[in-house]
Amino acid sequence: MVYKKRFDGRKFDELRKIEAEVGIIPNADGSARFKIGKTEAIAGVYGPKEMHPKFLQNPKKGTLRCRYDMISFSVNERARPGPSRRSQELGLVIASALEPVCLLNDFPKLIVDVFIEIPQADAGTRCAAICAASMALADAGIPMKDLVAAVAVGKIGDKICIDINKEEEDYDGPGGATDIPIAYSPVENKLTLLQLDGKIKDEDLVKAIKEGIKGAKKIYEIQKAALKKKYKVNEVLNE
Ligand code: UDP
């Protein structure tokens, strides 16, 4: 029942090493890369632009469309290229985690396309995708209330662990593994994604969400710093 030490030696509330960068795809209107441990997501944003076919246009608000794709070399056992049930579901999940912060009413009928590629996966790819996409949307100048930061919390054996990797996700020792991806907007103080794969007691779920929010707040600062770096905000302020 006791998970004493994390497989990779991290503290239970320690995130993996994070790298975040904005403006990596010159051809896109906005783009970003977010790496957490060995999991990496890159996102390119195109739009707002006219939506085709026209009957899909929403006259009241804009549409946010996300495509999630794992590159075939991203995992040990080659991922089959092209859309799958999982990638289609993740595209929808990612869009619904980002929609609450996007001011879609500002561009009725139009569409914003977000393309996300996963060059490397070691669990938590939907969360890395949300982090990258949220920075890329901001980089594209899409009107937003806030950024969204996301992280997968786990209950591994008897311990709540932040930012679980694949080895932890696959833990089949006593107590098993429960995977809880969450996305959080600090300005709105809202969870925009909460999923749960496994079993957990109510009180542990509350603890997991609290830990997740703490982790998301740390990620949020890194996302903001990456955007400020591209737009040289600190240089301008210190002029
Ligand atoms: N994975 C894999 N092959 C696949 C899909 C997933 O090896 O075709 C691995 C990958 O490391 C991924 C992890 O399983 O990050 C967990 O996938 P899940 O569907 O739970 O989503 P994620 O945790 O990446 O958001």
- pLDDT bin (cut points 50, 70, 90) of residue 239 is confident
pLDDT at 52 over 90: yes
Ligand 1 center from residue 171 Cα (angstroms): 14
Rounded to an integer, the average pLDDT of 175-197 is 97
pLDDT given at position 31: 98
Residue nearest to atom 12 of ligand 1 (CA): 123
- pLDDT bin (cut points 50, 70, 90) of residue 219 is very high
Query: 125-139 and 202-230 helices cross at what angle (nearest 10)?
Result: 40
pLDDT at 238 over 90: no
Q: Ligand 1: does its nearest atom lie under 6 Å from the Cβ of 132?
A: no
Tokens of 6: 């994390």
Model confidence over 17-43: pLDDT tens digits?
Answer: 999 999 999 999 999 999 999 999 999
Rounded to an integer, the average pLDDT of 81-88 is 94
Residue type, 204: D
Alpha-helix runs per DSSP H in 43-110 = 85-98
pLDDT given at position 7: 95
Q: Is 73 helix (H, G, I), strand (E, B) or coil?
A: helix
- pLDDT bin (cut points 50, 70, 90) of residue 194 is very high
Return the C-alpha torsion angle 226, 227, 230, 235, nearest 10.
Answer: -90
In total, the chain counts a number of residues equal to 239
Rounded to an integer, the average pLDDT of 158-169 is 97
Chain position carrying tokens 């390119």: 44
Q: Ligand 1: does its nearest atom lie under 6 Å from the Cβ of 75?
A: yes
Task: Give me the chain's average pLDDT, please.
Answer: 96
Residue nearest to atom 14 of ligand 1 (CA): 123
Rounded to an integer, the average pLDDT of 135-160 is 97
Residue nearest to atom 9 of ligand 1 (CA): 123
| Domains assigned to the chain | 18-232 (3.30.230.70)
Q: What are phi and psi of 229, to 5 degrees?
A: -65, -45
pLDDT at 1 over 80: no
Rounded to an integer, the average pLDDT of 86-110 is 97
